[in-house]
Amino acid sequence: MKYDYINNSISFEDNGNIYNCHSYIPQSDFDEDNYGLLFLASPYFVAESDYYEVNLYRGKRKNRVGWIIPINLLCNTDIDYLSDLDDYLLKYADISLRKLLTFCIKKKLLNDLDFEITDILPDSVIIFIYNQDSLSLSEIDHVIPSLYDNGFYTFDDPLSANFGDLYSSQLKNREIKEAKSNGSLRKINLRLIHEKYHHLLFFKHLYSYILPNNTNPFFRYISLYQVIEILMSFAFDDIYFSVISSYNTGACTKTN
């Protein structure tokens, strides 16, 4: 899709109509095809200023993979405020807006010719925009548990999500507020699920569809304990096969 930046708007054509999405986010030179987008929501990060650089750990190696950006930031009209933001944040904000517009076009959500992105999508939406050279599309599901640990729920479709009833943990809320107030929360650090767990679709279903809106504490405890049992079973298998291998190679005997 070709987008033109004219008079604080992104202009584009679809089915013979010219649309204008109002935005003061400056144009970047990023290629939309090189970036992926994941829809998030959070009961803990609700302010326009809740934007964070995202790092991904692969073992001990850490790389920046993108930004978490509230959708309201994309509608900010304060030029002085925007000019003080990190250059990379603004570049990722621009590519986020273009990805959102492409999403709206594909879903046939456009009605008014002149609009803001929050006229179409809920203002509770948070965007995780990531560079696919650092985090591939095939790996994105593998960071969902880590996003959950950081206070973010994931959604495939923001229009069908129930943002009004997101589960909020008092302990997590207190931890995040303290981290914000003392300045220790500057970046979001993610980790991939170990490759041996990648086939477990249960994880995505649990973290994306079951936990966000279920407020029953007993049900949540039982659900999350299933994760512990799964991980324990893999740990047991690792230990078991390690002992068998050691025994077969003579590294250990029946007596030691």
Q: For the chain, what is the domain count?
A: 1
Give the pLDDT confidence score for residue 196 in this predicted structure.
60
Structural domain includes residue 207: yes
Structural domain includes residue 229: no
Q: What gap in Å lies between CA 216 and CA 191, rounded to an integer? A: 27
Q: Phi/psi at 163 (nearest 5 deg)?
A: -75, -20
pLDDT digits (tens, 9 = 90+) for 99-136: 999 999 999 999 999 999 999 999 999 999 999 999 99
Which residues, 6 or more positions from 124, have their beta carbon under 8 angstroms from its beta carbon?
A: 41, 46, 71, 163
Q: Give the lowest-confidence range in 89-93, 106-110, 143-147, 204-208.
A: 204-208
Structural domain includes residue 97: yes
Structural domain includes residue 189: yes
Write out the residue range of the structural domain in which residue 121 sits.
4-215
Residue 199 confidence (pLDDT) above 70:
no
Structural domain includes residue 231: no
Six-digit token string for 209? 């569809």
pLDDT digits (tens, 9 = 90+) for 217-237: 777 777 777 776 766 666 655
Structural domain includes residue 191: yes
Structural domain includes residue 134: yes
